[in-house]
Structure 1
Amino acid sequence: MIINYIKKYKGFFYSLLFSIAIWFIAFLLIPAKPVESIKPVTIFFILGCYLSLVTGFLCFNFKTKPIEFKQKPRTTFYLNILLIILVLSYLLRWFDLFWIRELSFFNETIENRAIKDANSSSSGWLFVIASIIKSIYFFPFIFVKKLKLKSAGYTVILAYALLLFPWVEAILLGARKPFFEVFLIVIITYLLFKTQKIKLKPFLIICFSFFLLMSVSVVLLIKREHEVAKHKVAFFDSILKSRYNDLLKPTDEAENYFYSKDNNELIKYYALIGLHSGQYISHGVFEFNHIIDKQDLQKTNGTYTFFPIINFFNKFNISEPIVLNNPSPRSYVYLTAFGSFYIDFRWLTLLAMFIFGVFQKYAFQKSKHSIIYIPILIYLLLINVFLPITNYIRGIGIYPFVAFSFVLSLYKLIELNQKNKVS
């Protein structure tokens, strides 16, 4: 009975198991050692969060009715509307970045980041809304896969093309996260919709795609760090003395390998990105471990994780301005999801995780009968994967939930209007 239940909701349980497995694999494989020992309270808190999340998922069931998106032509109509909205959102976003803020592919990424941050307050409400809506760029792709649309029409082509749209901004700013996000969304979608065993060809494609992503990551990292390091220190030195190394330090053997002139440069670059990625995956736990017993750590009551919402209210004077700050002693955001929520809620995080588990159960059961919930379900699974790495919903990670609420409301309004016409 338990096995059947796990199979029924395998996406939820597998995503949690994968999150734990990928953290341990990364930590065990990289040639790096923690500077501070893991405290028992850190382990207890993280285990408590996982247990609360699972308990919330297990404790509730929701009644659902198979009434939405039953007919493929009707679904395609909604999909086309969503595609138009998303394309317009990206066009507005690019107009904001290239025309108003004057970012350019000819600038160095560090310069583009500085320009973007300096002019962040110049964007009007329309550009802010566009920035939020564009965050669900992956929704059409998931709808196409679920509906098994295989024609070469503009709907399918545009749905796939939208997966590449976030890469424009990623290249401008030297960010690697969007590349891996798209990769993981595609993989999760494939696994969720495929019940048979993965065959050799798809597996090889996945491996090759991952290799390409690693290559892109190498190029972006080299470009970005060279821009920073050219006026300061050597490239490898800048990476090996970055913030990740403060609490998860590479071994002496690893440092000697990278500093040695006898080793192949290209292999060293790939090895470095492997080390860098492994540190990115695993060091958040040690960042959280570093702050968990700080007596003077400020409690932020949700403003640390959900600061974009506060920024929105502050920007347009909707309410009395709320002062935002980062109370983390090291000022970094890589504290795992648990560490981020700990700053906000302390031990009430366990309750927050319980509620999050309940919400995931609701999304799972709604997605069985309503296709519109499937993309947000896949996004929830993505969040699960990143739980011990970083808080995926902190900052702009909250945008897909806001945009999903907009899409769901729009759908309900259209449906209500159709019913009124019929009656």
Structure 2
Amino acid sequence: MTALTADQIARVKATAPVLAEHGVTITQHFYKRMFTHHPELKNVFNQAHQQSSSQPQALARAVYAYAANIDNLGALGSAVTHIAHKHASLNIRPEQYPIVGENLLAAISEVLGNAVDEPTLDAWRAAYAQLAEILIGAEKALYAQAAWSGFRPFVVFRRERESDEITSFYLKPSDGGPVCDFKPGQYISVKRFVKEIGVDQPRQYTLSDAPNGEWLRISVKRERPQDAPPGYVSNQIHEGIEVGGIVEVSAPMGEFTLDAAKTTPVVLISGGVGITPMVSMLTSLTAQNSTRKISFVHACRNGRTHAFGRWLDAIVAKHPNVSRAVFYENTHADDRPGTDFDFAGRLDFSRIADKTLHPDADYYLCGPVPFMRAQQEALIAAGVSKARVRTEIYGSGEIA
């Protein structure tokens, strides 16, 4: 790996406070600049997240973290792994890194002006080259293990409504080839052309079934067009893909995966569409006839938005080691307590401590960022070690 000099490290680290103050301005300018000079990259980056500024904010946080830890890159290990999996799912290639680097450095110079001198920019060039080398190496390893390269056409052979918001799509390779294996909790990217903005757009969807050798399944929440950001791709998938339709799919990626080798209790916690990786994990565990104590905790608004309810009931009835705790925040008159749901109101671990608070349990948590932040804080307050809580974040958010 390219080594930075002591002076370069000091200069990059010294810019961290400036990045904390001006980071979002820099990254917003960076994306605008890069898309002006390289409009083809709009097909790679989520344009809805550009509109909402969540992607510039996420990049600003990442750049700040890199600057602040430039002398201790080991602290960035999990972040690098997360980014590498996202990049590999989007088919990011080494030749794209110089484009990003050129425009990021130009954005720093153009936004900060005389506040940054040429030796500091040179230090950042070396630091970016180092970071690019780290990511390219990590992504190369992922590509070497991937089931296929780039995007592969799959045919939708079945679609099934799971709730008022979520529909499942069952996919098989259109070439008749074998379906790949994957780890429960991983995701794929689906690429669709979005006419409203005139570009291809990839979106990542968790595989919502256990590996079975026959198909892949994604379960897509339809975001409302008036939401910010609007659900360009989710609406296009719901409205435009029927049985027989073709979708372009990347190979499975993602580090939020079930540790199937353990025998300790498992607590699967989800909010809304965050249920999808938990369905894959629970299906995989029960298919293996695991004897681990498993608690499936889910929170949603009501029965109309509750996906996979009947599936969960069948699992619990068949496997005595599996328990459920379903919370409905705003129940409807036809929602049946004790049958459709177990608790009214928001998820509250004090009401299910006997099912969920075990000293040796592993906790898997997925859902909207505010939901995950609240549940992680509640678990830690109840005495659960943060190291035992694993999280998956959709989009460009972060927990803490």
**Relative contact order, CA 8 A, sep 6+: which one is greater?**
1
Please indicate the TM-score interval, normalised by the length of the shorter structure.
under 0.3
Instruction: Identify the structure with the greater strand proportion.
Output: 2
More helix by share: 1
TM-score where L is the length of structure 2: 0.26
| TM-score between the two structures when normalised by the length of structure 1 | 0.25
